[in-house]
Amino acid sequence: MRVLVCGGGRRLGRAIAEDLGAAGCHVAVSSRHAVEPVGVREGRAAAALVADLADATQALAVVRDAAAALDGLDGVVYAAGGAFTPTDLADITPELVEDALGSVVRGLVFVAQAAQEALSDGGSIVVIGDVAAMRGWPSYLPHSAAKGAQRALVSGLARALAPRLRINAVHPGTVLPPDEAPEDALERIVTRIPLGRIGKPGDVAAAVRYLLTADYVTGAELVVDGGRLAT
């Protein structure tokens, strides 16, 4: 399988791309900065592309460039996300809203537009959403709103892309907290997770691999949060 991971330069997107490479996929990653390609099995292709997905022209081009580098494309994982910084309502600026919408919503629209042409028959898009899309977080309003908009895009695009292509979402709970997150805040989060731990990148990557190959699943949302939303 030939897969582009948008936002695959670091952290969760990178872990998903590495997992796909280890599973035998040809993998292209895109990032706003130059990064190394991920490791892939012998004989598989790997590429690292630079694109600011908030720019429609670059979002369209990166899908075509990935298809050229991998000699076709069967999957796109959209893992780009805007800034994740707690901000009170009173302190939200137009720039914060623009950053969230650009990286999370505008990028996905134009990546999907290019993917409609570039993906092979039966190909699919997997969007890395967030449980913040289901229950807006007061300290992360632009992020929650952008992730909520992604949910509407996934259900609308599922119909727009069918029957040739599919699109699904994975909604992780806390997996890789920001480096500056205080230890006691993390401990509080864990107390609210029925399965008793934060997620591992591999938990999310396994869900991505499932959805990339689930031929009869489109418009679906897979929550990977240890049961936190269920409480």
Ligand X SMILES: NC(=O)c1ccc[n+]([C@@H]2O[C@H](COP(=O)([O-])OP(=O)(O)OC[C@H]3O[C@@H](n4cnc5c(N)ncnc54)[C@H](OP(=O)(O)O)[C@@H]3O)[C@@H](O)[C@H]2O)c1
Which residues make up the interface to ligand X (CB under 6 A)?
A: 7, 9-13, 31-33, 52-54, 79-82, 84, 102-103, 107, 128, 130, 172, 174-176
- Shortest distance in whole angstroms from residue 8 CB to ligand X: 7
> Residues 6 or more apart from 163 whose CB is under 8 A from it?
none
Nearest to residue 146, comparing CAs of 79, 219, 82? 82
Nearest to residue 167, comparing CAs of 178, 183, 156, 181? 156
- Name the residue nearer to ligand X (CB basis): 10 or 159: 10
- Name the residue nearer to ligand X (CB basis): 13 or 142: 13
CA distance 52 to 130: 21
CA distance 99 to 104: 8
Q: Which residue is nearest to ligand X (CB)?
A: 81
- Name the residue nearer to ligand X (CB basis): 174 or 218: 174
DSSP strand E in 38-188: where? 46-50, 73-78, 119-128, 166-172
For 31, the enclosing helix (H) or strand (E) is strand 26-31
Structural Rg of the chain based on CA atoms: 17
- Shortest distance in whole angstroms from residue 82 CB to ligand X: 6
- Name the residue nearer to ligand X (CB basis): 40 or 133: 133
- Name the residue nearer to ligand X (CB basis): 119 or 132: 132
- Shortest distance in whole angstroms from residue 54 CB to ligand X: 4
- Shortest distance in whole angstroms from residue 47 CB to ligand X: 15
DSSP 8-class letter at 103? I
- Shortest distance in whole angstroms from residue 9 CB to ligand X: 4
